Chain A
Amino acid sequence: MQTFEKLMKLDRRWVYLLLIIVCVWSYIADFTVPILVEPEVRSIHSFIDSLPEGDIVMIAIDYDPNNLAELHPMTYAMVEHCWRNKVKTIFTSLSQNGPGMCDQALRDLTDSMALDREYNGVEYKGREIVNGIDYCFLGYKPYFAIVILGMGQDFRLPFPTDYYGTPLDSIPMMKGVINYGQCACVIDISGGNITDAWISYGQGRFGFPLALGLTGVMTAQYYPYLGSGQVFGIMGGLLGAAQYEELADNPGRAKDGMRVQLFAHMVIILFIVMGNVGYFASRRRLKQEGRA
Chain B
Amino acid sequence: MKHKLMIGVLFVLFGMSSLWAQTEPVEADSAVVDSTELYPAPVSHLRATDKPNDHGHAIVVEWETSADDGGGKNNVVLYQVFRSMSFDGPFDSVGTAPAGEGRFEDIGSKDRSSSSFIPDDTDLFYQIDAVTADPAIRTPSDILDPVQSSGQWFNTGRVPVLVAVLIFGLLTGIFVTSAKRGRELYVRPIGGIEAVDDAIGRATEMGRPILYVLGLGTAADVATIASFTILSRVAKRVAEYQTELIVPTYDPIVMSVAQEVVKSSYFDAGRPEDYKEECVFFVTQSQFAYVAAVNGIMLREFPATNVYMGKFYAESLLLAETGSLAGSIQISGTDEIAQIPFFIVACDYTLIGEELYAASAYLGREPKLLGSLKAQDWAKAAVVVLAIVGLVAANFGWLEFPTLFRVID
Contact = CB atoms under 8 A, between A and B. Distances in A.
**Chain B interface: which size bin?**
20 to 34
Contacts of A131: none
B338 A64 contact: no
A221 B116 contact: no
A73 B111 CA distance: 39
Contacts of B267: none
B408 to A, nearest CB: 9
Contact of B313 (A97, A175, A176, A193): A193
Given A218-B338, A221-B338, A206 B409 contact: yes
Interface in B62-120: 107, 109-111, 114-116
A185 to B, nearest CB: 17
B107 A220 contact: no
Contact of B286 (A67, A97, A191, A207): A97
B152 interface: no
B387 interface: no
B109 A154 contact: yes
- B contact face: mostly helix, strand, loop, or mixed: loop
Contact of B338 (A96, A156, A181, A217): A217
Interface in A203-228: 204-207, 215, 217-218, 220-221
A66 B116 contact: no
B409 A64 contact: no
Contacts of A22: none
A191 B338 CA distance: 12
Contact of A178 (B114, B313, B337): B114
B287 interface: yes
Interface in B295-313: 311, 313
Given A66-B287, A97-B286, A193 B311 contact: yes
B216 interface: yes
Given A154-B109, A204-B409, A218-B338, A191 B116 contact: no
Given A176-B115, A178-B116, A66 B288 contact: yes
Contacts of B285: 96
Given A66-B287, A176-B115, A178-B114, 9 more contacts: A66-B288, A154-B109, A178-B107, A193-B216, A193-B217, A193-B313, A207-B409, A218-B313, A220-B338
23 contacts: A64-B286, A64-B288, A66-B288, A67-B314, A96-B285, A96-B286, A153-B110, A156-B111, A178-B107, A178-B109, A181-B107, A192-B287, A192-B314, A193-B313, A205-B409, A206-B409, A207-B409, A217-B314, A218-B338, A220-B338, A221-B336, A221-B337, A221-B338
Interface of B: 107, 109-111, 114-116, 216-217, 285-288, 311, 313-314, 336-338, 409
